[in-house]
């Protein structure tokens, strides 16, 4: 597996401090960066799961629904680029990328909100996308903020 920071390839999870960071990189970080890295990994876990449980953890407190909203309008450049790519056919990478970015932002806002109220995980994460008007899209990301602790 590969470290997200230094891009070095390691033979096993044994060389890793978190899901994505190798021990070397982790040891080089200051305490604030370490906290953020661990939080990012913890947040990533429930993000990929839309269920209301997190494997290996027990939910100790429910802190309520948290959400993040982003509104994105396609730039002129993006629209022209996208239209040109449509001519090529198939999947439209420029639009796909725009959607991904917008989703990520909505998720980040939700995660910040969860952290502010003392959560260390979010379960039941959902995305909702609405086309507000031509070329203007709203992405809503929401879930239930919880406190979890590792199962003994
Ligand atoms: Zn590394």
Residue 7: domain span: 1-48
Domain end: 48, 65, 86, which one? 48
Query: Hey, how many other C-beta atoms are within 10 angstroms of the C-beta on 58?
Result: 13
Q: Is the pTM of this model over 0.85?
A: no
Considering the domain architecture, whether residues 55 and 16 belong to the same structural domain is answered as no
Helix residue ranges, H only, the chain: 23-28, 31-48, 76-88, 93-116
pLDDT at 108: 85
pLDDT digits (tens, 9 = 90+) for 49-73: 567 777 778 889 999 999 999 988 7
pLDDT grade for 37, boundaries at 50, 70 and 90: confident
CA of 26 to the centre of ligand 1 (A): 7
Considering the domain architecture, whether residues 60 and 100 belong to the same structural domain is answered as yes
Cα–Cα distance list, 46 to 5, 74, 76, 97 (Å): 21, 30, 36, 22
Task: Report the domain count for the chain.
Answer: 2
CA of 44 to the centre of ligand 1 (A): 18
Considering the domain architecture, whether residues 71 and 114 belong to the same structural domain is answered as yes
CA of 81 to the centre of ligand 1 (A): 36
Contact in structure between 62 and 120 (CB atoms under 8 Å):
no
CA of 115 to the centre of ligand 1 (A): 26
Considering the domain architecture, whether residues 22 and 92 belong to the same structural domain is answered as no
Per-residue DSSP letter, 134: T
Considering the domain architecture, whether residues 90 and 123 belong to the same structural domain is answered as yes
Domain end: 48, 65, 80, which one? 48
């Amino acid at each position: 597996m590969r470290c997200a920071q230094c891009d070095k390839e390691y033979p096993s999870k044994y060389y890793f401090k978190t899901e994505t960071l190798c021990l070397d990189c982790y040891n080089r970080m200051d305490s604030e960066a370490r906290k953020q890295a661990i939080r990012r990994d913890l947040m990533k876990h429930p993000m990929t799961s839309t269920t209301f449980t997190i494997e290996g953890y027990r939910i100790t407190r429910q802190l309520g629904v948290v959400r993040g909203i982003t509104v994105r309008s396609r730039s002129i450049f993006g629209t022209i680029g996208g239209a040109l790519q449509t001519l090529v056919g198939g999947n439209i990478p420029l639009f796909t990328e725009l959607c991904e970015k917008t989703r990520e932002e909505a998720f980040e806002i939700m995660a910040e909100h969860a952290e502010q109220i003392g959560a260390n995980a979010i379960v039941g994460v959902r995305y909702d996308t609405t086309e507000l008007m031509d070329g203007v899209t709203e992405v809503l990301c929401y879930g239930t903020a919880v406190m979890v602790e590792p199962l003994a």
